[in-house]
Structures are given as structure tokens and as C-alpha cells.
Structure 1
Amino acid sequence: MSSGIPVNEDCLKAFDAMKRLRLYKYVIFQMNADFTDVVVGHRYRAKKVSGDSSEIASITEGETAENTSNLEGASATEEEVFADFLKHLPENECRYVIYDIEYTKKDVTSNKIVFVTWAPDTAKIKPKMLYSSTKNNLSKRLEGVTTHIQANDLDEVTLDSFQEKLQRV
């Protein structure tokens, strides 16, 4: 049963920019302070934006150094991006994440967007319930994402564990 908490259009724009344009490596979604909307919390720019495309401008509008890592779009290793992701994952609060992760399966390197639900054991009960009941509402809007990772402890949020899960898919 869905909680009915709506997903802000900026979340869907960020997902589309990740999927279609490969603009972001990860996007962290969170509920706003009064738990009435799922919004973009933080993102990591995967590449430099050039040109004056109105589409790109509408997607990147509102990006600041506080809510976007790697604004300049410099290249980084998967390990560096994952370390940045962990830095922006709160220890005691729930989040949703879409992550465009690189992995190797049978000597072939690929990328896949995974949907992560972060619900730490230390989070308060009400937010955990709201995030749990809103998860399906959000994941249905993220068309094409087929891999879901549920994480409740930082030990479950490692680059190796994510890549291992994708190798089994």
C-alpha cells in the first residue's frame, strides 16, 4: 500500500538526466521536513556540461556546491564517487538513492542504475515507516530500474557488495 507521498518532478528530471544523458553518477532523494514530498537531496555530476541546451539548463537549475558534488564534472574513479556518496548518506536518517554503478561480469564491464533504500537501524520509527510505504510509489516512477538494494547498516553499503549483487543478476 502506497503512503501517497508524492514524488517531486525534480526527482524524475534528475533520474531522466542520469538514465538518458548520463549526467549524474548518483542522486539521493529524501522526504522534505514535513514528510509531504520526495525531493532531490544531493547528486554527483558525472560529466562536464557544455553548450547552452535549455534542457540541460532546466535540469541543472538550482545546483549548488551544497547539493551537488563535482559541479565541474571532473572525471573520477568509481571508488572516489562511492566515497563521496557515503559522505552524503546520513547515519541516522532514511534516504532513497539511484546510483549508476560500474561493474564487471564475465570480463565485460557494464553500467547499471540501481535503486537503493537506505533505512538505518538507528533511524526513527515514523520516517522508516513512511520511507518503506513510499518506496513502491517512487520505484514505479523510475522506469527501467530493475535492481533494488535494501541497506540498513553501513556494512551493507560498500562498492564491493553493490558490484557483487550486480554480478549475480
Structure 2
Amino acid sequence: MANSASGMAVDDECKLRFMELKAKRSHRFIVFKIEEKIQRVVVETVGESQQSYDDFSASLPADECRYAVYDFDFTTDENIRSKMLYASSKDRFRRELDGVQVELQATDPSEMSLDIVKERAF
């Protein structure tokens, strides 16, 4: 089905490869291109998980347009990746613990003092 704004359909393989990158992290990057003859966005290149950013850059043509997704793996001094994992898993975990009365989210020890816990509980 064509996109009403541009007339370009998105090939199912584009969605499949993106889900593999997102869920399984089986690819480092994906490069997509528009095939004008068939009026579709298609997968042009799939980078293996061990490939680098330089490999990704080299896969892009110098004088043509492309769409691309790169799985940039990073951590910071604050370990943002861990925080994001906990934040995205919280709702499901909480639903599994039927009966929890009070929820307190703390990003550092000052946000979980006994006074704050008591205030939330009453």
C-alpha cells in the first residue's frame, strides 16, 4: 500500500529487518533505498552486529539519498542504558506483583528516605 504523502510503499522486509535490529539486536545497521521503478522503499544493506560505525558510513553512497538506522550501543557514567531498561520494564513487572499498595520511584538515595516512604504510605 502506497504512502499517501509520497506514493512510496514500504516493503515488508524493511519492517522485518528493523524489528530484528530492535528486538534481537542481530544487525548493527540497516540502509534503505527508494526503488523508483517499483515505487517502494526496500532494504539495500544490512550490517552485521559486529560491524562498526565506519562500516555503516562506508555503506552509504556519497552522492545519493538513503534512509538508515544505526544501533548505537553506549553507556554513560550514569549508566543510562540500565535506567532505560528498568523504566521500560517497570509496568509489566508491577502488574505481575499483584497487591503492591504504594509505588515509589527513586533515582538516587535522597529520593527514598524513610520520611518520603512514610509520606507515600499514609
Q: d(CA) in 1 for partners of 2:78 and 2:66?
A: 32
Deviation string for 1:41-73 (max 9, x for gaps)? 001121xxxxxxxxxxxxxxxxxxxxxxxxxxx
The whole-number CA distance in structure 1 between the counterparts of 2:5 and 2:27 is 28
What percentage of residue pairs aligned between the two structures are identical?
A: 28
Cα RMSD for the two superposed structures: 2.2
Task: Encode CA deviations 1:68-93: one digit per residue, 9 max, x unaligned.
Answer: xxxxxxxx4xxx51111111111110
Query: Equivalent residue for 2:48?
Result: 45
Compare the two structures and name the one with the higher strand fraction: 1
Separation in 2 of the partners of 1:15 and 1:40?
10
Report the AA paired with residue 90 of structure 1: P
Cα deviation, residue 33, structure 1: 4.4
**Equivalenced residues, count:** 79
The reply on whether 1:101 has 2:72 as its aligned counterpart is yes
TM-score by length of 1: 0.42
Cα 1:109–1:83 shift into 2, 3 Å: farther
Q: What does residue 98 of structure 2 align with?
A: none
Distance 1:109-1:102 versus aligned 2 partners, 3 A rule: farther
Greater relative contact order (Cα < 8 A, sep 6+): 1
Q: Offset of 1:110 from its aligned partner?
A: 3.4
Aligned to 1:5: 8
Query: Is 1:84 aligned to residue 33 of structure 2?
Result: no
Deviation at 1:35, TM superposition (A): 6.2
Counterpart Cα distance in 1 of 2:43 and 2:32? 5
In structure 1, distance between residues paired with 2:43 and 2:80:
29
Deviation at 1:105, TM superposition (A): 3.1
Unaligned runs of at least 5 residues, structure 1? 47-75, 112-169
Distance in 1 (alpha carbons) for counterparts of 2:64 and 2:77: 36
Aligned counterparts of 1:38 and 1:30: Cα–Cα separation in 2:
6
Residues in 2 aligned to 1:94 and 1:87: alpha-carbon distance in whole angstroms: 14
Residues in 1 aligned to 2:36 and 2:5: alpha-carbon distance in whole angstroms: 19
